[in-house]
A and B are shown apart, each in its own frame.
Chain A
Amino acid sequence: MRVAGIDIGSRSIELIVLEDGQVVHSKQAESGYNPIERVKELISDVSFDKIMATGYGRGIVEVAFDYPTVTEIKAYGAGATALYPGVRSVLDIGGQDTKVISINEMGKVVKFEMNDKCAAGTGKFLEMMATSLGYQAQTLGAAAQKGTEGIEINSMCAVFAESEVTSLLAKGCDRNDIALAIHQSVCRRAIGMIRRQNISTPLMFAGGVANNTCMVQLLKEALGEDIIIPENPQFVGAHGAAILASQYEPTPY
C-alpha cells in the first residue's frame, strides 16, 4: 500500500509517500498565498491509496480535498517514533512555532507544549535576525560558529531583538558574535520549554531549524547529551501523517 502524508505549514508544505514503510517520494514547496493550489501541484504527479494531512493549514485541505487530518503534535510524535523507535521526546523549531512533545515507552504522545503566539524562539526569529545582520537564513548558523561568546540578546520579542541587534552593530560589535548571541537566545528559550516539561531522552530535534549546525551544537551542550537529528528534519511531520494515514479509520464519534 502507498500512503501519503502532507504537512501544510505556514511557510512550507512537505509531501511524503511511503511504500511498505520506505520513502518512495518526497517533495517540498513554499506555502505561498494559495496553499490549496500548491497542494494540488504537489499531489498532481504522485499516486497513493491513502493520505492524511497535518500542520497549521490542515483545515483548508480537509475542506478542499476531504482529507482526514491530524494535528502536527501527533504527526511529529508518530514520525519521530517511526524514524527512531524508542525516541522519547521531540523538539520541533519550525518556521512559525516551536513545540516540545513527550512520548512514552509505547510511542504514544503524552504531553506537549507549544509556542505559537509570536515569532519569539522560532525559525522566523532567526530569519529576521539574519536579515538585520545581512546574512541569509541558511548561512547564519555558519557565521555564528565563527563567533565568540560574550554578547547577550535580552529581548525574546523579534521586534525588540531587531533593535538590539541594530544598536550592537552601531556599537561596533562583530557580526559573528551577534549571530552567536542570537542562537544562544533561541536555544535558551527551547531549553526552557524542554525543562518545564521534564522530558525523557533520547530527544529528537526536528523542523527546519534542525539543519542549523550551530543550533544543534548549542542544544547538545545545554542538554549535556547527544540529540537525534533526522536526515530530513522538515519531513518528520509529513512522515508521521503518512504513517497515521495507513492506520486511519474514521472516528466512531
Chain B
Amino acid sequence: MADYTQMWTDLGLNHDNHNALLDNLGQAYQSIFMTQENRPEGMSYFDFVMSEAHGLRIQELREEQEAGRKIIGSFCVFVPEEIILAAGCTAVGLCAGADFAQEEVEKVLPRNTCSLIKSFFGFKLGKVCPYMEVSDMIVGENTCDGKKKSFEVFKEMVPNFYQMDLPQTKTPMARHMLKQEFKSFVEKLEEMTGKRITIEDLKQGIATVNAKRQALRRLSMLRAADPAPISGLDALLINQIAFLDNPIRFTEKVNAICDELELLIKETKGAKKAKAPRVLISGCPMAIPNWKLPSIIESTGAVIVGEESCIGERGQRNLTDDSADSLEGLMNAIVDRYLKIDCAVFTPNQERVNHIKEMSQQYNADGVIHYGLQFCQPYIMESFSVEKELEKQNISVLRLETDYSQEDMGQLSTRVEAFVEIIK
C-alpha cells in the first residue's frame, strides 16, 4: 500500500488510533476472508478495494472533491443515493461495524445503546474514520429512537450535520411527509452545489443506482444454486463495499463476478460443498467490519444464502421507476421506491415477514437465523413475531442477540452449531 500518512494527517485522523484500527482490520480480514477455500477469482477486486478502503478510495474521493464534487456521508439506506448523484455529489455509507474508543463513547451515550450507534460515535471520537472526515455533509435520519436521540449529541461533534426526518408508517400522510423531506434534501444539495437538479440529472442518478441494485440482485439470485457458488461472507462483503465504492465501477465488477459465478454453477462447482446446510440471515444490518456472526455460521460448514438486511436485500431489492418525464414524477417514483423498504422502525411491518418467507424459499434455505444487535428495540421486538410466523410454516428459526464484542463467541458458536445440527 502506498504511503497515505500525509492524507490521513490532512484529514485530522489520529495516527495511533487509526493504525491500531487498520492492524486489527487487516488481521481479521486475513483470518476470516483469505482462509476461505474456492473463492471466485472475481473476489480479488473486492479484496483490493478493502485493502485500499482507507487509502486509494479516500484519495479518489479527495480528487473528486478537488474537482468540485461534494461527498455526502450517511448511515441509512433511506438517504436517497439517486438524488445525491443527480446533484453531482458522491454518496458514501459511514459504516459502523466495530467498537472503538468505548470508554469515550460511554461518557456521552448510555451503556444500553446498540453497538452500531456506539460505533459511529467511537469512530468520530477516536478520529479513525476517513469517510466521516472527508464528508462535506453527514446526513442523519430519524429512524429508531437510538439514532434520533443520539444525533442530538452527534451533531455537536461534526460541523456539517444534516438531519432528515422519516415517517414511521406507510400511510398517505407518511408518503406526503417523506416527499417533503426528500424535496428539502434536494434544496439542501442544490444550495451546497449552487446548481439545480434537472430531469436528466435525476434520470441519470436513477439509472446508475438502479444498475447497481440490479447487479446486486443478480448476485443474490445466483446464490440459490447448490452448491452455493460464493460464500455468504464474500457476498456480504460485496454488499458492504456497495456503500463505499464508485457505483459505476462497482456495478461492472459485480456483473463480472456474476458472469464467473454463472459458469461455476454450470459446472456445478461451488465455494461451499454441495448439500451444505443453508442459512438465511435476517435482521439488523452488518456494517464493515462486522463479520462475526457470518464467520461463525460458515465455520460450521453451513453456507449463508442470503441477507434479509439493509446491507443486503432489504436495502437493494427495489428499483426506482424512471419512466416519468417531469421532476415531480421522478420524485414521486423515488418516494414510492423508498417507502417499500421494510425496516423494523415502521409499523405495521408485515411486509418484512413476507419477504423473509419469500427469500427462504427462493434461496432454498434450511433455516433462518435472526440477528438482533443487543438493545436494538425495533428488530428484537419484531424477532418474536418473525419467529412465530416462520415456525407456522415449518421454517426453523434461531433468534440471536449479540453485539460487536468478542466476549460471547463461545456461546454464539454453540448456539449456531446446534442450530446447524438441527437443520441439516
Known contacts: A110-B396, A112-B418, A114-B415. The answer to whether A56 contacts B410 by CB under 8 A is: yes
- A71, A108, A116, A252: which contacts B417 (Cβ < 8 A)? A71
- B274, B396, B408: which contacts A117 (Cβ < 8 A)? B408
Kindly state the separation between the CA atoms of A56 and B277 in the bound complex, as whole angstroms.
23
CB distance from A228 to the nearest CB of B (A): 22
> In the bound complex, do residue A71 and residue B418 qualify as a contact, i.e. CB atoms below 8 Å apart?
yes
> In the bound complex, do residue B411 and residue A109 qualify as a contact, i.e. CB atoms below 8 Å apart?
no
> In the bound complex, do residue A114 and residue B422 qualify as a contact, i.e. CB atoms below 8 Å apart?
no
> In the bound complex, do residue A253 and residue B418 qualify as a contact, i.e. CB atoms below 8 Å apart?
no
> B152 within 8 Å of A by Cβ?
no
> A70 within 8 Å of B by Cβ?
yes
1/0 contact string of A221-253 vs chain B (CB within 8 Å) = 000000000000000000000000000000111
1/0 contact string of B405-424 vs chain A (CB within 8 Å) = 00010110011011001100
List, in ascending order, chain A residues with CB within 8 A of B418's CB: 71-74, 109, 112
Kindly state the separation between the CA atoms of A15 and B350 in the bound complex, as whole angstroms.
49
List, in ascending order, chain B residues with CB within 8 A of A111's CB: 396, 422
> In the bound complex, do residue B275 and residue A116 qualify as a contact, i.e. CB atoms below 8 Å apart?
no
Interface size on B, residues (CB 8 A): 17
List, in ascending order, chain B residues with CB within 8 A of A56's CB: 410, 414
Q: From residue 101 to 137 of chain A, which have CB atoms closer than 8 A to chain B?
A: 108-112, 114, 116-117
CB distance from B404 to the nearest CB of A (A): 16
> In the bound complex, do residue B422 and residue A110 qualify as a contact, i.e. CB atoms below 8 Å apart?
yes
CB distance from A79 to the nearest CB of B (A): 14
Known contacts: A109-B421, A251-B301. The answer to whether A72 contacts B273 by CB under 8 A is: no
Nearest-neighbor residue (CB-CB) of A73 within chain B: B418
> In the bound complex, do residue B411 and residue A114 qualify as a contact, i.e. CB atoms below 8 Å apart?
yes
Kindly state the separation between the CA atoms of A74 and B422 in the bound complex, as whole angstroms.
8
> B314 within 8 Å of A by Cβ?
no
CB distance from A219 to the nearest CB of B (A): 23
Q: From residue 206 to 227 of chain A, which have CB atoms closer than 8 A to chain B?
A: none
CB distance from A111 to the nearest CB of B (A): 8
CB distance from B272 to the nearest CB of A (A): 7
Kindly state the separation between the CA atoms of A108 and B414 in the bound complex, as whole angstroms.
18
Kindly state the separation between the CA atoms of A71 and B277 in the bound complex, as whole angstroms.
16
Nearest-neighbor residue (CB-CB) of A97 within chain B: B411
- B272, B410, B421: which contacts A253 (Cβ < 8 A)? B272
Nearest-neighbor residue (CB-CB) of B421 within chain A: A74
List, in ascending order, chain A residues with CB within 8 A of B396's CB: 110-111
> B211 within 8 Å of A by Cβ?
no
Kindly state the separation between the CA atoms of A117 and B403 in the bound complex, as whole angstroms.
13
> In the bound complex, do residue A253 and residue B414 qualify as a contact, i.e. CB atoms below 8 Å apart?
no
List, in ascending order, chain B residues with CB within 8 A of A108's CB: 422
Nearest-neighbor residue (CB-CB) of B415 within chain A: A114
Kindly state the separation between the CA atoms of A111 and B390 in the bound complex, as whole angstroms.
13
CB distance from B381 to the nearest CB of A (A): 15
Known contacts: A251-B301, A253-B272. The answer to whether A71 contacts B408 by CB under 8 A is: no
CB distance from A80 to the nearest CB of B (A): 14
Kindly state the separation between the CA atoms of A56 and B417 in the bound complex, as whole angstroms.
12
List, in ascending order, chain B residues with CB within 8 A of A117's CB: 408, 411
> B276 within 8 Å of A by Cβ?
yes
Known contacts: A70-B421, A71-B421, A117-B408. The answer to whether A252 contacts B414 by CB under 8 A is: no
List, in ascending order, chain B residues with CB within 8 A of A74's CB: 418, 421-422
List, in ascending order, chain B residues with CB within 8 A of A70's CB: 421
> In the bound complex, do residue B301 and residue A72 qualify as a contact, i.e. CB atoms below 8 Å apart?
no
- A71, A73, A116, A253: which contacts B274 (Cβ < 8 A)? A253
> In the bound complex, do residue B422 and residue A116 qualify as a contact, i.e. CB atoms below 8 Å apart?
no
CB distance from B135 to the nearest CB of A (A): 37
CB distance from A52 to the nearest CB of B (A): 12
- A72, A109, A251, A252: which contacts B422 (Cβ < 8 A)? A109
List, in ascending order, chain B residues with CB within 8 A of A71's CB: 414, 417-418, 421
CB distance from A11 to the nearest CB of B (A): 15
CB distance from A104 to the nearest CB of B (A): 10
> In the bound complex, do residue B273 and residue A73 qualify as a contact, i.e. CB atoms below 8 Å apart?
no
> In the bound complex, do residue A252 and residue B421 qualify as a contact, i.e. CB atoms below 8 Å apart?
no
> In the bound complex, do residue A252 and residue B410 qualify as a contact, i.e. CB atoms below 8 Å apart?
no
Kindly state the separation between the CA atoms of A253 and B415 in the bound complex, as whole angstroms.
19
Nearest-neighbor residue (CB-CB) of A102 within chain B: B422
List, in ascending order, chain A residues with CB within 8 A of B421's CB: 70-71, 73-74, 109
List, in ascending order, chain B residues with CB within 8 A of A109's CB: 418, 421-422
- A73, A112, A116, A253: which contacts B411 (Cβ < 8 A)? A116
Kindly state the separation between the CA atoms of A253 and B417 in the bound complex, as whole angstroms.
14
1/0 contact string of A57-88 vs chain B (CB within 8 Å) = 00000000000001111100000000000000
Kindly state the separation between the CA atoms of A110 and B424 in the bound complex, as whole angstroms.
11
CB distance from A248 to the nearest CB of B (A): 13
CB distance from A124 to the nearest CB of B (A): 15
Nearest-neighbor residue (CB-CB) of B416 within chain A: A71
Kindly state the separation between the CA atoms of A112 and B274 in the bound complex, as whole angstroms.
27
Kindly state the separation between the CA atoms of A252 and B408 in the bound complex, as whole angstroms.
29
CB distance from B160 to the nearest CB of A (A): 40
- Which are the 10 A-B pairs with shortest beta-carbon distances? A253-B273, A73-B418, A253-B276, A71-B418, A74-B421, A253-B301, A71-B417, A116-B411, A71-B414, A109-B422
18 interchain pairs (CB within 8 A)?
A56-B410, A71-B417, A71-B421, A72-B414, A73-B418, A74-B421, A108-B422, A109-B422, A111-B422, A114-B411, A114-B414, A114-B415, A117-B408, A251-B301, A252-B274, A252-B275, A253-B275, A253-B276
Beyond known contacts A109-B422, A253-B275: 20 more, CB 8 A cutoff:
A56-B414, A71-B414, A72-B418, A73-B414, A73-B421, A74-B418, A74-B421, A74-B422, A109-B418, A110-B422, A112-B418, A112-B422, A114-B414, A114-B415, A251-B301, A252-B273, A252-B274, A252-B275, A253-B274, A253-B301
